[in-house]
Structure 1
């Protein structure tokens, strides 16, 4: 039986993906910092692993556990991540570094730890959950979008680098999804820039996030991930979820200034 590791599995896309992969016949390891929040996954027979993607020792021990118990790892779903918003001027560099630690360097370290086992097998799938935010941008989202742009570029390089070893690298670009992400992003935004020179922009963007609630269920992304993992020759990218494809289409066809104007107009409508 093939073995999959899903990070950020305590809620949202990660939790749904762990369930969907189990339903598809995989032995699933669900990883997150909060093991207590994965009790429902454990009750299904999914193996839960305490893992902090900013703590190297926990990642090393987590991969070692999987290899010791199952002897292989076929799928890595790098889903752990969060959105930190605020005016670039206001966000402490320590928070910018932490955003990269979670969204980029944790992902990168797990790729380093799993790749030798996949090479030895001659096969594997690495699925990096990016965002449409890896292709577009927003005011007050400089650090978050920087991390997702980095995930996109890293994934493209890895795809070529690992192809000779039978390892596929796939990028998932969710649109608006009904998860805890928006609430965390709004809290960070208002805490950081809710007063001062950027207050009006912060309030408008917070209202946009709070009122744009017609997101897709996390299972929509989970189903796409399973489809990519099972595909003999998966696509390099899958955009899915509420407004993902229309927004990415507009980004491709509109000049930068036109996209700027469209996006600012959309935020003002929600403000």
Structure 2
């Protein structure tokens, strides 16, 4: 039975993948940031530990608890827990940017380092990072999230090269819009970011974005369910030759193609349409 640690399992992609991989025969150890969500998953029969990316001790303790459940081995790590901090770059408080990186980059990096040590000793393992289409291209008012995912992509590509020949394979999954609580979490991050909306040059856009995030309308175009990510995750876990990158959703394929063929000025025009 292969063991896998999955982070960010309170809802969305992490929750779905934990359920499906357990049905597939994996020994799944899920993790959540909030203890209430940990208790919920344990109550549903999914082994779950508490792990907060912003807390080094929590990361280390969570991994040790996961290893107790897995018998000391770790065949795979799926880094998934993240959030998006909205806001124009010129308005973004340094502390808000720091919090974005603590969760989306530094916490992932620390957990990945710990997993690498285990996998190197084993002589095998899979590390899968759930990135984003915004690790390939940038969109206005997503600067903090764009930067965190660009940083993740750089670290992951480098790690893949450095682990060559070790038996440990590294892959990135790059989804576009996926059904989840991402918009709800982004709204909360925006409201608590410390951005002064009223004095900002971007005031009208902020108000429009806030209305969109608060609306109860359906998902944006081209949104897929978490099963689309799960399909790529299974390939990254089980293929003898896992891919370095897995695109998910039409926008990822489209933007990945356009950034290769369009000059910057044209690409900027395309991306600005998504303001």
**TM-score of the pair, normalised by structure 1:** 0.91
Which residue in the other structure is 1:227 paired with? 235
In the alignment, the residues of structure 1 paired with residue 92 and residue 171 of structure 2 have an alpha-carbon distance, to the nearest angstrom, of 31
In the alignment, the residues of structure 2 paired with residue 31 and residue 118 of structure 1 have an alpha-carbon distance, to the nearest angstrom, of 19
In the alignment, the residues of structure 2 paired with residue 107 and residue 72 of structure 1 have an alpha-carbon distance, to the nearest angstrom, of 19
In the alignment, the residues of structure 2 paired with residue 100 and residue 183 of structure 1 have an alpha-carbon distance, to the nearest angstrom, of 19
Q: What is the correspondence of 1:37-56 to structure 2 with a 5 Å cutoff? A: 37-39=37-39, 41-56=41-56
Would you say the 8 A contact 1:104–1:150 is kept in 2?
yes
1:233–1:16 distance in 2 versus 1, CA, 3 Å: same
Which residue in the other structure is 2:62 paired with? 62
Name which of structure 1's ranges 113-122 and 250-259 shifts more when overlaid on structure 2: 250-259
Would you say the 8 A contact 1:190–1:203 is kept in 2?
no
Kindly indicate which of the two structures has a greater share of residues assigned to helix. 1
Aligned residues: 267
Which residue in the other structure is 1:152 paired with? 153
Name which of structure 1's ranges 228-237 and 177-186 shifts more when overlaid on structure 2: 177-186
In the alignment, does 2:89 pair up with 1:88?
Answer: yes
In the alignment, does 2:220 pair up with 1:213?
Answer: yes
In the alignment, the residues of structure 1 paired with residue 67 and residue 260 of structure 2 have an alpha-carbon distance, to the nearest angstrom, of 42
SS at match of 1:30: strand
Offset from partner CA, 1:228-258 (integer Å, 9 cap, x none): 1111110000010352212222222211111
Name which of structure 1's ranges 98-107 and 67-76 shifts more when overlaid on structure 2: 67-76
Task: Please report how far the alpha carbon of residue 208 of structure 1 lies from its aligned counterpart in structure 2 after TM superposition.
Answer: 6.5
Offset from partner CA, 1:64-122 (integer Å, 9 cap, x none): 22223322001000001100011222221111111000000010000111111101111
Q: Among residues 245, 250, 258, which one is paired with 2:253 in the alignment? A: 245
Q: What is the correspondence of 1:60-209 to structure 2 with a 5 Å cutoff? A: 60-69=60-69, 70-189=71-190, 192=195, 194-195=197-198, 196-206=200-210
**TM-score of the pair, normalised by structure 2:** 0.90
Task: Please report how far the alpha carbon of residue 37 of structure 1 lies from its aligned counterpart in structure 2 after TM superposition.
Answer: 2.3
In the alignment, the residues of structure 2 paired with residue 187 and residue 40 of structure 1 have an alpha-carbon distance, to the nearest angstrom, of 22
Task: Please report how far the alpha carbon of residue 158 of structure 1 lies from its aligned counterpart in structure 2 after TM superposition.
Answer: 0.3
In the alignment, does 2:8 pair up with 1:8?
Answer: yes
Offset from partner CA, 1:171-226 (integer Å, 9 cap, x none): 01010111111232244446636433111332455566666623111121122112
Name which of structure 1's ranges 56-65 and 70-79 shifts more when overlaid on structure 2: 56-65
SS at match of 1:49: strand
In the alignment, the residues of structure 2 paired with residue 265 and residue 201 of structure 1 have an alpha-carbon distance, to the nearest angstrom, of 13
Aligned-residue RMSD, C-alpha: 2.0
Which residue in the other structure is 1:236 paired with? 244
Name which of structure 1's ranges 187-196 and 156-165 shifts more when overlaid on structure 2: 187-196
SS at match of 1:29: strand
In structure 1, stretches of 5+ residues that fail to align are: none
Would you say the 8 A contact 1:54–1:106 is kept in 2?
yes
Would you say the 8 A contact 1:4–1:74 is kept in 2?
yes
